[in-house]
Structure formats: structure tokens, C-alpha cells
């Protein structure tokens, strides 16, 4: 799916650490021959071994082979423990918030002895620890202005523009990167991803870029996975399933390809096959909590909310304080999914029971990252959940107070998307008050890529007799076909609305 707009999503299951396999040796040698000339940047290490491993790592990283990338970044660091940029990119392949912060901060401690381009990339990485998108965008723009041929810089600027809801600017950067680097798959993959998820969407162009990425690098899973994602967006679920199977043929150890097969089978209604896919993926995914959640979601898609909540509670009961810091994000994600199902099904008792555990998991993440900005953002997110519990308890004044606390906490955060949670919360409160006009006003201010907010907006529009506009949203969501807890909760309703 699209690049995350908030750092904490880096630490949920299967983020950044997506793929693991070897590849064609001759292609790898071509990618790592003179890595500094390839990326148009001076590296502040004199170690030939460090440069060689860093080049291999970057190749793996940008074609989505996260586990292999992590291993090569580790090798680069071993070859030169003072190689600052290797720590920065090692952070991006971390499996948990504590490691991300540790590697990021190590890179920052070595910043005095790096080249100017490296310095900007290290500073950009630091903005994730501060949830500071405004500074990230400024740094990325400076990086491209000073080093216009820097491959990494243009990708970072494209990502920063996308995160700032400046998608046309993002696509222009990707087009320039494609022109400058016709042998690279990453900008093609990012362009395909953009046309799937970002407005204005164009699935024909997404398919074109996905197929071009396969032409450039046919022997990695990520290019075939992207084509499968395009087919899902086109509601060609059989085509998607076949593309994901091809990805598994290319790389049998790729747990994401297996998981994606599970998603396609879920939307096809092949729930037993989907569960088998997720079980197979869990064997390859160190931790597997994400696969547990996807397995439970098959019951949510089938409308069996009580069974799903029972399964969540069973899995949650297995969680204890011995969870490693690497797992905190995964545990938090599982708890969040359970709360979403509880909220949607009106089960205040289950939501109230899980919220303290979720709070503990989130505070562990805040402690692991260690910055005040992330602590504040997490604290604000908890206020939103307290507001939702108050809504279920029909205590709307408390819900409004919690929403205002969220707003106050997020005010100093330098991120243009910081108020999404506030507007969503106020929209939910307005819906609970049957105030369709206010709900519409608030929900239209939420990032349009937030499908849960879009679903609630459709409900508000329908309540306000704006049926045509509501149906456009229901129609889009009915074939959205990308797996998440919120989508599992809305898909059947959207399909029913369209079928009426």
C-alpha cells in the first residue's frame, strides 16, 4: 500500500521488512559496481567492503527485499562501525521502534564526519522520530536542489510530497527519477502505487508502471506483487491471486506474497484457502501477529463479529510482559484491531477491557522511540480511543472533551495531517448525535485516503439525503479490496448499498 504518513506504522507487521530472498548475481554486481556513481553521492567511508555491502543493501532495500537489505546493512556496519549512513538505512529495516530509534540516533551521533548529502539524509531520518513532516519536506527539497541527480534524494522528496498530500508534485519527482534511472524498479513501483491509492487515481497507468517494473526486474517478488495489487484495485481478484502466486514462484520465502494470496482469497470468499495462506506466511514471518490478525479478519468479512472478538480475546490473553520491544508495534496493532471490531459492533464492554492493554503497548512504543513528539502523538491517539468508548457509552460530552484534548495535544506537532484524528472523532460524535451536516463538515476535512472516514462520510451524506454522493463513495469502497480491519468492517455494507 501507500507509504506511511506516520512513523508508528513503520513498526507494525510487515512494514519495511517485507521480503527475503537471493537474486541474480550478475544484476546485483551491476547494481553495486561503483555505488557512489550510481546514487550520485559521496559516501563517508574508506572501507571497500563497507561500500560493497552498502550497495548490495540499497539494491535489496529498493526492490523490497527488506530482510536481505538488513543483513547487508549489518555487514556494512561491521566493515566500518563509523559508517553513519549505513546506520540510517539500517534503521529503515528495523523490526521495532526501539531498534529504529537506536540506529537513527547512532547515525546522528556520527553526523559531524559525513558528506553534505549524507548529512541531509541523516537529518531527514530524524524527522520520523519527531513526527515532523514539515521539516522532512524542507530537507528533501534542499537535498534535491543541491544534488539534483541524487537517486535517494528524489525518492525521499517524492515520498515527502505524497505524505503532504501533494501527489502531483510527488509524481513529477518520480517521473524525473525514472528518466534519470531507466534501469531502476523502485520509482516505477512507487508510481504504480501512487496511481492505485492517490487522487487522481488511474488504474490503467498503475498497470502500465507495474508491468514496466517487471520488465526491468522480473526476478524479485515485489514487482509481481505490485501487479497483483493493481489487479485487486481493478477488482480482478483472480488475476491478483495469479500474480501473487507468481511472486511466490520467484521467491518461495517471501511471506508477503503468501499473505497477499490470503487477501485475494479473502475477497474471493475462499476463507479456508485464505487461512491456509496466512498460516504459511506466519511460518516465514518472524512474529506472525499480523497473520493472526488477517486470519481473524476472515470471520469479520463473513460478518461473524462475536467469533472474531472471541478469537481476539483468546490471542490477547497470550500476550504478557515478556514481549520484546520488536514486538510492541505488532501487539499494539492486534489490540487496535480488536478495539475497532468492538467499537463497530457496539461492544463497549470488550473495548473497555482491551483499552488498558492497548494503552500499555502504545506507551512502550513511546518509550522505545523516546522523543517527546512521538509520546505526544501516541497520547493524543489514546484520547481518541477514550472518546470512542465514551460514544459507545452515550456520554457524548466526555467524547467531545476527549476530542478537544486530542486537538490540544497535536497542535504543536509539525505535520499537516495532525488533525485527521480530531476531525474523524468529531465526525463520529456528530453521527452519534444524528447531526449529519456537522458530521459531513468534519469528515470532509480528513485525508481522503482514510477509508474509515470515507465510509462514515458516506453514512452522513446518506443521512443528509445526499444519496448520489454517498453512493459514489460506497461504490468505490465496495471494490477497494485492500485488507485492513476497518475495511473488513465496512465491505459487506458497501457491497449491499451498491447492490440495492
How many C-beta atoms lie closer than 10 Å to residue 24's C-beta? 12
Give the residue with greater pLDDT, 17 vs 66: 66
Triad 423, 484, 374: Cα angle to 5°:
55
How is residue 81 written as a grid cell? 562501525
307 neighbors 317 (Cβ within 8 angstroms): no
Give residue-wise pLDDT tens across range 103-145.
999 999 999 999 999 999 999 999 999 999 999 999 999 999 9
Task: Please give the full DSSP string across 198-259, using - where no structure is assigned.
Answer: SSSP-HHHHHHHHHHHHHH-TTSHHHHHHHHHHHHHTT-HHHHHHHHHHHHHH-TT-HHHHH
Give residue-wise pLDDT tens across range 240-274.
999 999 999 999 999 999 999 999 999 999 999 99
Give residue-wise pLDDT tens across range 342-364.
999 999 999 999 999 999 999 99
CB proximity list for 175: less than 8 A, separation 6 or greater = 191
pLDDT at 328: 61
Q: Which pTM was predicted?
A: 0.89
Dihedral angle sign, alpha carbons of residues 419, 305, 281, 229: negative
pLDDT at 318: 84
Give residue-wise pLDDT tens across range 305-319.
999 999 999 998 887
DSSP-based helix, strand, coil % in the chain, nearest 5: 75, 0, 25
Amino acid at each position: 500500500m501507500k507509504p506511511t504518513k506516520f512513523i508508528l506504522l513503520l513498526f507494525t507487521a510487515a512494514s519495511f521488512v517485507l521480503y527475503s530472498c537471493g537474486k541474480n548475481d550478475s544484476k546485483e554486481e551491476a547494481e553495486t559496481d561503483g555505488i557512489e556513481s550510481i546514487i550520485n553521492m559521496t559516501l563517508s567511508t574508506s572501507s571497500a567492503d563497507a561500500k560493497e555491502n552498502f550497495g548490495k543493501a540499497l539494491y535489496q532495500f529498493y526492490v523490497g527485499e527488506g530482510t536481505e537489505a538488513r543483513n547487508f546493512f549489518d555487514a556494512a556496519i561491521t566493515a566500518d562501525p563509523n559508517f553513519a549512513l549505513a546506520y540510517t538505512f539500517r534503521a529503515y529495516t528495523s523490526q521495532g521502534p526501539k531498534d529504529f530509534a537506536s540506529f537513527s540516533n547512532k547515525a546522528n551521533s556520527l553526523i559531524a564526519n559525513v558528506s553534505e548529502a549524507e548529512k541531509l539524509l541523516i537529518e531527514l531520518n530524524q524527522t520520523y522520530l519527531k513526527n515532523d513532516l514539515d521539516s522532512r519536506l524542507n530537507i528533501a527539497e534542499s537535498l534535491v536542489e543541491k544534488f539534483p541527480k541524487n537517486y535517494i534524494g528524489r525518492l525521499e522528496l517524492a515520498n515527502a510530497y505524497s505524505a503532504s498530500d501533494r501527489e502531483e508534485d510527488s509524481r513529477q519527482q518520480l517521473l524525473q527519477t525514472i528518466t534519470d534511472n531507466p534501469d531502476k524498479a523502485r520509482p516505477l513501483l512507487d508510481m504504480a502505487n501512487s496511481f492505485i491509492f492517490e487522487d487522481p487515481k488511474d488504474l490503467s497507468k498503475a498497470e502500465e508502471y507495474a508491468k514496466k517494473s517487471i520488465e526491468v526486474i522480473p526476478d524479485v517478488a515485489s514487482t509481481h506483487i505490485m501487479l497483483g495489487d493493481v489487479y485487486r484495485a481493478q477488482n480482478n481478484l483472480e488475476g491478483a491471486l495469479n500474480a501473487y502466486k507468481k511472486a511466490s514462484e520467484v521467491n518461495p520465502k517471501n511471506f508477503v506474497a503468501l499473505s497477499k494470496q490470503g487477501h485475494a482469497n479473502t475477497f474471493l470468499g475462499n476463507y479456508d484457502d485464505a487461512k491456509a495462506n496466512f498460516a504459511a506466511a506466519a511460518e516465514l514471518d518472524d512474529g506472525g501477529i499480523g497473520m493472526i490478525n488477517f486470519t481473524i479478519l476472515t470471520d469479520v468479512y463473513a460478518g461473524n463479529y462475536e467469533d472474531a472478538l472471541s478469537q481476539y480475546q483468546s490471542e490477547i490473553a497470550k500476550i504478557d510482559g515478556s514481549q520484546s520491544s520488536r514486538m510492541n508495534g505488532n501487539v499494539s496493532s492486534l489490540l487496535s484491531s480488536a478495539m475497532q471490531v468492538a467499537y463497530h459492533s457496539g461492544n463497549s464492554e470488550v473495548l473497555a477491557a482491551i483499552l488498558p492493554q492497548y494503552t500499555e503497548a502504545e506507551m512502550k512504543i513511546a518509550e522505545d522511540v523516546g522523543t517527546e513528539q512521538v509520546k505526544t502523538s501516541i497520547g493524543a491517539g489514546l484520547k481518541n480511543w477514550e472518546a470512542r468508548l465514551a460514544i459507545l457509552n452515550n456520554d457524548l460530552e466526555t467524547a467531545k472533551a476527549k476530542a478537544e484534548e486530542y486537538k490540544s495535544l497535536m497542535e504543536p506537532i509539525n505535520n499537516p495531517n495532525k488533525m485527521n484524528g480530531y476531525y474523524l472523532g468529531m465526525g463520529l460524535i456528530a453521527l452519534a448525535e444524528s447531526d449529519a451536516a456537522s458530521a459531513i463538515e468534519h469528515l470532509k476535512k480528513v485525508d481522503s485516503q482514510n477509508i474509515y472516514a470515507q465510509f462514515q462520510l458516506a453514512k452522513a451524506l446518506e443521512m443528509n439525503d445526499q444519496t448520489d454522493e454517498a453512493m459514489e463513495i460506497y461504490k468505490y469502497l465496495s471494490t477497494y479490496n485492500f485488507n485492513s480491519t476497518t475495511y473488513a468492517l465496512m465491505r459487506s455494507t458497501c457491497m449491499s448499498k451498491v447492490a440495492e
